[in-house]
Chain A
Amino acid sequence: MALVAFALIALIALGSALGLVLKRNPIHGALFLVVNLGSIAALYLTLGAEFLAAAQVIVYAGAIMVLFVFAIMVLIPGKEETGPDPRRPWRLLALPAGAILLMLLAVYVVGAPAAPSGRATSGGVEAIARLLFTDYLFPFELTSVLLLAAMVGVLLLARRRA
């Protein structure tokens, strides 16, 4: 039962990832990416990471994808990929390169030795929060500085100079 659910979600995730790469219209790609992020959130749920699933939907599928769709609406004048591709044969080299990468990663990551499993994890808000405010306190505070710096930088970049 769990396996069937996993296979279904994994199929959706892979299909939407391929849709993102193959569809010519970037708005279709953005919608495919939303589907992909949602399916990954579902996978987090099956792994017992409830907090991350919620954060994935709110931060990624919500905030980040809204930014993307907004930028696409502002920038893209209807159709896409202007003109014929002058470097098409080179770009098609990406397919064998991607296949080689896939095999290498499969050997190293999937074949990683199974460690002795520790206690069962709880991915609830409390467990993550405890970790974030004890072991990872410094990076957590640093993240707030990073977000502030990003905000100021974006304001500077987006200012219309004329």
Chain B
Amino acid sequence: MVPESYYLALSVALFSTGVVGVIVRRNPLVIFMSIELMLNAANLAFVAFGHRLGSNDGQALVFFVMAVAAAEVAVGLAIIVAIFRLRRRLSVDDLSLMRW
């Protein structure tokens, strides 16, 4: 039996990779995929903790995270497509309109 802390360690590593991806990359689509990576790392931690505690609540929460992620991806990609229509370029450096 694999101890849950291994799963948690993997989840932490995946989450950090996602954070680095969000900061380093300039393509909004790749940034979005990195966010998905972070969500999945959190989901893995949920399931691992649920397994450790012997309860199914973690899995129910993961279900909700999946639903929210689906909604988020649909809206986010629509926003990116709308931005692309306006600008014809795709780099987060160009999107400084609301910068203080």
User: If the complex has contacts A43-B44, A115-B52, A150-B74, are A75 and B14 also in contact, measured as CB distance less than 8 A?
Assistant: no
Q: Which residue of B lies closest to A149 (CB)?
A: B71
Q: Which residue of B lies closest to A46 (CB)?
A: B2
- If over half of B's interface residues share one DSSP class (helix, strand or loop), that class is named, otherwise mixed; here it is helix
Residues of B close to A158: CB separation below 8 A: 78, 81-82
Residues of A close to B93: CB separation below 8 A: 86-87
Choice from A120, A128, A143, A153 contacting B67 with Cβ under 8 Å: A143
CA distance A139 to B86 in the complex (A): 37
Q: Is the CB of B27 within 8 A of A40?
A: no
Residues of A close to B13: CB separation below 8 A: 14, 17, 102
Choice from B1, B34, B81 contacting A71 with Cβ under 8 Å: B81
User: If the complex has contacts A49-B59, A128-B59, A131-B60, are A82 and B91 also in contact, measured as CB distance less than 8 A?
Assistant: yes
Chain B residues within 8 Å of chain A by Cβ, number = 74
Residues of A close to B29: CB separation below 8 A: 26, 68, 71-72, 75-76
Q: Which residue of A lies closest to B21 (CB)?
A: A21
B86 to chain A, nearest CB (A): 11
Q: Is the CB of B30 within 8 A of A26?
A: yes
Choice from A47, A56, A72, A157 contacting B79 with Cβ under 8 Å: A157
Chain A residues within 8 Å of chain B by Cβ, number = 87
Q: Which residue of B lies closest to A44 (CB)?
A: B47
Residues of A close to B33: CB separation below 8 A: 20, 26, 29-30, 33, 68
Interface residues of A in 106-162 (CB under 8 A from B): 106, 109-110, 112, 114-115, 117-123, 127-128, 131-132, 135-136, 139-140, 143, 146-147, 149-151, 153-154, 157-158, 160
Q: Which residue of A lies closest to B61 (CB)?
A: A136
Q: Is the CB of A47 within 8 A of B91?
A: no
Choice from A10, A40, A114, A131 contacting B40 with Cβ under 8 Å: A40
Q: List 26 A-B contacts (CB under 8 A).
A: A14-B10, A21-B21, A29-B30, A40-B43, A49-B59, A60-B36, A71-B77, A72-B29, A81-B25, A85-B26, A91-B23, A91-B24, A93-B23, A94-B20, A101-B19, A102-B13, A109-B8, A109-B12, A109-B45, A118-B54, A119-B54, A122-B56, A123-B56, A128-B60, A143-B64, A154-B74
Nearest first, the 3 closest Cβ-Cβ pairs linking A and B are A118-B54, A94-B23, A150-B71
**Chain B residues at the A interface, C-beta cutoff of 8 Å:** 1-2, 4-21, 23-27, 29-30, 32-34, 36-37, 40, 43-45, 47-57, 59-60, 62-64, 66-75, 77-82, 84-85, 89-91, 93
